[in-house]
Copies of this chain bind each other. A is one copy, B any other.
Amino acid sequence: MKKEIKPNTLAMPTPVWCVGTYDKDDKPNVMTIAWGGICCSTPPMLTVSLRKATYTYGAIMERGVYTVSIPSAKYVVEADYFGIASGKDTDKFSATGLTPVRSTVVDAPYVDEFPLIFECKVVETVELGLHTQFVGEILGIKADENVLNEKGRPMMDAVDCFTFSPTTREYLGLGDVVGKSFSIGKKFLK
């Protein structure tokens, strides 16, 4: 018998992504989010959801583009800071010493030290409530060579991304392989 609990946002696991934008003065900014995910394979698209009160919201509304820089666990302190401070009154790149690089594909900056970057153009803006969802078409990807396999595909263990546990207010790294996908389930096929 399951217990009923009040609706909340504790579905899991969530990503930890850093959304890069320029403000009106071309100052680069970056904000950490957990409300996002892949939403379409063809064309490839991902979503990020932001509150209207954030500085990044205004920047995306202005230029219609953003990057997603995926942090490695070694940059967890910087990623946490990117979710605490506001670009309204701070230059988060200067504060952390990380390097903003202008995307060659969209008019937005990414975090050079992070291993995997998605360059996105907004194709849908969905007003949902406290959050606005920006659906971005992925127009480009940039990656550090050492996180790519021989076919040029990013490897999760090399990216060393992490997830967010809201209940315990912790970031968790990746764990062991628990199964082969599109494979182990075949035992139930008739």
What is the interface of chain A mostly: helix, strand, loop, or mixed?
mixed
A58 at the B interface (CB under 8 A) = no
- Which A1-38 residues have C-beta < 8 A from chain B? 2-15, 17, 34-38
- Which A110-162 residues have C-beta < 8 A from chain B? 112, 116-118, 123-124, 126, 128-131, 133, 135, 138-145, 148-149, 152-157, 159, 161-162
Complex interface: chain B residues within 8 A of A173 (CB): 174-178
Taking a contact as CB atoms under 8 Å apart, the answer to whether B172 and A178 are in contact is yes
Q: Residues of A within 8 Å of B, CB-based: how many?
A: 108
Taking a contact as CB atoms under 8 Å apart, the answer to whether A9 and B185 are in contact is no
The 23 listed contacts between A and B (C-beta, < 8 Å) are A5-B153, A7-B140, A10-B116, A11-B15, A11-B17, A12-B159, A13-B174, A14-B38, A37-B37, A37-B47, A41-B51, A43-B129, A45-B128, A47-B47, A77-B185, A84-B189, A85-B185, A92-B188, A154-B167, A156-B167, A157-B165, A171-B179, A173-B178
Other than A3-B144, A124-B128, give 19 A-B pairs with Cβ distance below 8 A: A5-B153, A7-B141, A9-B38, A12-B156, A35-B38, A36-B37, A39-B126, A41-B130, A45-B129, A45-B131, A76-B179, A77-B184, A83-B182, A154-B167, A157-B165, A162-B178, A163-B163, A163-B174, A170-B179
